[in-house]
Amino acid sequence: MKSSKIISLLICFVILIAVSSFPVSVNAAVDEQVNESVTKMLNSGEYIADEILVTLKKEVSGLYSNRQTIESVFEPISSESIVKLTDNPFADKGAEVSNPEGVLVNTDNYRDIYLLKLKDESEMKKALGILINNCDVEIAEPNYILYPDATYDPLSNNQWQLDKIGTGASWDKGFTGKSDVQVGILDTGIDTGHTDLVSNVDYTLAWDIYLNTSDVTDVNGHGTFIAGLIGADLNGSGVVGVNKAVTMIPLKISHDAQGSSTISTMISGVNYAALYGIDILNLSYTLSSMSTTLEQAVQNYGGLFVSSAGNDGDDIDVNMNGHCNNVQNWIVVGATQSNDTRASFSNYGATYVDLFAPGYSVYSTKRNNTYGSGSGTSFAAPLVVAAAAVLMAHATDLSVIQIKDLLLNNVAALPALSGLCVTGGRLSLINAVNALYSATRPAYSKGDVNGSGTITSSDSLIIKRIYLGTYTPTPKQLVAADVNKSGTVTSIDYIMVVRYCNETYYFPPY
């Protein structure tokens, strides 16, 4: 046992001599490498500014530890305190180890772990560099700060809509939304001062469609509420939207406190979205008389158009002759309550309403930087918009129509909604996400290195062998293995595939 320590000291010594006898440029290269890995560490997460976790090599840990060695590890660093975490930390709490034989220590793998507090946090980078370079040290890293995952915000206990459609479950599977996706909200404007919205709203494209100005101040509150449902910020306060990240663009089409608008203004809004390439549009207005001109404008638009079914409690198959069921990129949404039945005010229609979504007493952002609940099909449509935005962000190979089909083919089918809409179901983001994970892929597409049409641990193992140099891939396999298209196959590609297999990170086949 002692000999292993002597060997390790010898190795240390040999390395020291070797390093010190290298030409200056090699030393510089080593420093640069250490510098690079320290910078990477400090950029990879939030951490306590003046604390470092140090794991010693096995040869200097536990039974083999020697006070002199330990001191020499920490001596070059100006520290406030050094705590050995692997000592019994509960002694202060009066706990006694009544059965020392019962202590569970894996002697084969045991290593001492220390928490080092620096005198001066500005020394963090330098201290990490010194520790990493020390051959008695196995690991030195910042004391990272961690948070529980898939939590919402404090007021989210009112947001029953989130879990109803599987928001948190979808986040856990890597579907969180991205700012790449632009959502246009044709509505009454937005509370431009709302602290829970500001980070996901884009004011460079925001526009007052009617007055042709950039002032999109909310005249009614309706638009502010919709924005919160789609993309309120996950920031530890208030509420959250279905998208952790998204780009929302207020397109103001109403100017009175009632929030009225006209078909011509709506058409201008749709044209604006087409011109600026906005991916998805939300229109939550009761279309009491159907306009074929609006239909044409939506057909001209290449994005996804989502509207509310209206709040008259009517069968719009009967009342709204010629509603938009012939327009491929248009989805019509009715409202459900938390018990998954139709809200009594919600219009329905076996042909003209596509699906239902939560829209009764849902909770979101309100004007003057406040929060509250609201009901209406107006608030069901934005949840479909939000789900579409999440899917578009991650399944980037899908067309607008494929996104629509993905949502409609994967609703939660509910007897209470049967015959009331095309799908007979309620929006389920998590069902759509699961359908993407279980879909068969083209052979040798991204990640499918063995060409089986699915991504499994066999694919990840081949990737590992490729980057370790123990497997020679065919050209096809090489393309499939470079998942992030960096030009080389590395451990990053491997990790991406492992995470795909664990269903925590999704990437499209191309």
Residues designated as active site: 187, 222, 378
**Nearer CB in complex with Ca ion: 354/459:** 459
Q: How far is the CB of 492 from Ca ion (least distance, A)?
A: 6
| Pairing assessment for the beta strands 370-374 and 330-336 based on DSSP bridges | unpaired
The residue among 243, 233, 242, 239 whose CA lies nearest residue 158 is 239
Cα distances (angstroms) measured from residue 340 to each of 316, 360, 444:
20, 10, 41
Structure tokens at 431: 């069902």
Residue/partner pairs of 397-400 with CB below 8 Å, 24 or more apart? 397/508, 397/509, 397/510, 398/508, 400/279, 400/302, 400/303, 400/304, 400/329
Tokens 């809200």 sit at which residue?
343
- Of 112 and 196, which has the nearer Cβ to Ca ion? 196
* Contact criterion met (CB below 8 Å) for 493 and 463: yes
Q: Using the minimum distance from each CB to Ca ion, give the nearer residue, 354 or 482.
A: 482
CB 412 to Ca ion: min, Å: 26
Which residue carries 């509505």 as its tokens?
A: 187
Q: Give the binding-site size for Ca ion (rule: CB under 5 A).
A: 13
Smallest gap from residue 158 Cβ to Ca ion (A): 12
User: Residues 15-23: contacts with CB within 8 Å, 24+ apart?
Assistant: 15/135, 16/135
**150 and 171 Cβ atoms separated by less than 8 Å:** yes
- Which region among 120-128, 243-251, 377-385, 493-501 touches Ca ion (by CB under 5 A)? 493-501
Instruction: Give the nearer residue to Ca ion in terms of CB position, either 187 or 196.
Output: 196
191 binds Ca ion (CB under 5 A): no
Options 271, 484, 505, 509; binder of Ca ion; rule CB under 5 A: 484
Q: Where are the beta strands (DSSP E) in 105-204?
A: 113-118, 137-144, 182-187
Contact of 358 with 336, CB cutoff 8 Å: yes
Cβ at position 473, least distance to Ca ion in Å: 13
**Nearest CB to Ca ion, comparing residues 235 and 344:** 235
Q: Can you tell me which residue has the tokens 């089409």?
A: 253
Among 112, 153, 191, 208, binds Ca ion (CB under 5 A): 153
In whole angstroms, how close is the CB of 192 to Ca ion at the nearest point? 17
Question: Interface with Ca ion by CB under 5 A: which range of 152-160, 243-251, 299-307, 471-479?
Answer: 152-160
Residue 437 CB, nearest approach to Ca ion (Å): 14
What's the CA dihedral at 368, 369, 371, 376 to 10 degrees? 60
CA 449 → CA 437, 465, 497, 501, 509, distances in Å? 17, 12, 10, 13, 12
- Enclosing H/E stretch for 412: strand 412-413
Q: Which of 166, 231, 238, 376 binds Ca ion (CB under 5 A)?
A: 238
Rank residues 54 and 245 by Cβ distance to Ca ion and give the closer one.
Answer: 245
Instruction: Please report, as residue ranges, which positions from 407 to 466 form the binding site for Ca ion (by CB under 5 A).
Output: 448, 450, 452, 459
Least distance CB 33 / Ca ion (angstroms): 21
Residue of 187, 196, 218, 279 that binds Ca ion (CB under 5 A)? 196
Query: CB-wise, 279 or 459, nearer to Ca ion?
Result: 459
Q: What is the per-residue binding string for Ca ion in 106-145, x denoting contact by CB under 5 A?
A: ----------------------------------------
Q: Which residues bind Ca ion (CB under 5 A)?
A: 153, 196, 233, 235, 238, 448, 450, 452, 459, 482, 484, 486, 493
